[in-house]
Amino acid sequence: MNPNSDGDSGEPQRRWPWCAGLGTAPRADQGDWSRYRDVVRAYFGEDAPAWGLLDISVPNTDESDWQTVIDLIADSGVRSEFFVDHHSAPLPRADAVSSQSDSEDGPHLLLRIDRGHLALNSFLTDSNEIDFDVRANDIAGPEQLGELLGFMRAVGTLVGKPVVLTGEGDQAVLLRFHPGSGTLEWSVSADSPAG
């Protein structure tokens, strides 16, 4: 459990303050929400209950990029949990994750952020790619989408690399954050499962 989370203290938990130090606030307007729904429906098809997992990823990363993301999570005050072989453990340093994730016989690692609201999960399987999963239908409205966009903006800005949102295990980019320009680009490939 993240020591900065609210736990049982009775204090309100801060909601996804990813961009607080970057001069922007997580937000999604109705236009973003409409684009998200259109892109996800085009990707998965019209059957919303069947919407699957999405990947948030940053390819071509290294240990220092992972450490930047771990520090962002630790400093955010957002509830996070880290597990090694299904046992709770303190949030690790990136070098420890890297040595374990690159081993075929290594332990099962899981990092969860804000379970119960907009749950992001990373299985930390590749030190060369930052990767989180989110269920498409857990992004239920503009608030959750704003949190997702805020997370993507914060990660991309801090590591200085593009962040993409794709279908799980797919290369079809649904959304890309460009850190140089600070812009979000919505798209969907014709190769998506929906056709």
Question: In this structure, is residue 31 part of a structural domain?
Answer: yes
CA dihedral 148, 16, 137, 171 (to 10 degrees): 30
Question: In this structure, is residue 128 part of a structural domain?
Answer: yes
Tokens representing 107 are: 């332990």
Contact 56, 191 (CB under 8 A): no
Question: In this structure, is residue 191 part of a structural domain?
Answer: no
Q: Is the dihedral of CA 11, 13, 17, 21 positive or negative?
A: positive
Which structural domain range is residue 77 located in? 20-45+52-186
Residues of the chain above pLDDT 90, percent = 29
pLDDT at 114 over 90: no
pTM of the model: 0.81
Cβ-defined contacts of 116-121 (< 8 Å, 24+): 117/15, 117/144, 117/147, 118/16, 118/144, 118/147, 118/148, 120/56, 120/151
Question: In this structure, is residue 8 part of a structural domain?
Answer: no
Contact 138, 74 (CB under 8 A): no
pLDDT digits (tens, 9 = 90+) for 100-112: 655 566 678 889 9
pLDDT score recorded for residue 165: 94
Question: In this structure, is residue 11 part of a structural domain?
Answer: no
pLDDT digits (tens, 9 = 90+) for 140-151: 888 888 888 889
Question: In this structure, is residue 3 part of a structural domain?
Answer: no
Q: How many domains does the chain have?
A: 1
Question: In 3-state terms, what secondary structure has residue 3?
Answer: coil
26: confidence class by pLDDT, cuts 50, 70, 90: low
pLDDT digits (tens, 9 = 90+) for 44-98: 776 655 568 899 999 999 999 999 999 998 888 888 899 988 899 998 888 877 7
Question: In this structure, is residue 38 part of a structural domain?
Answer: yes
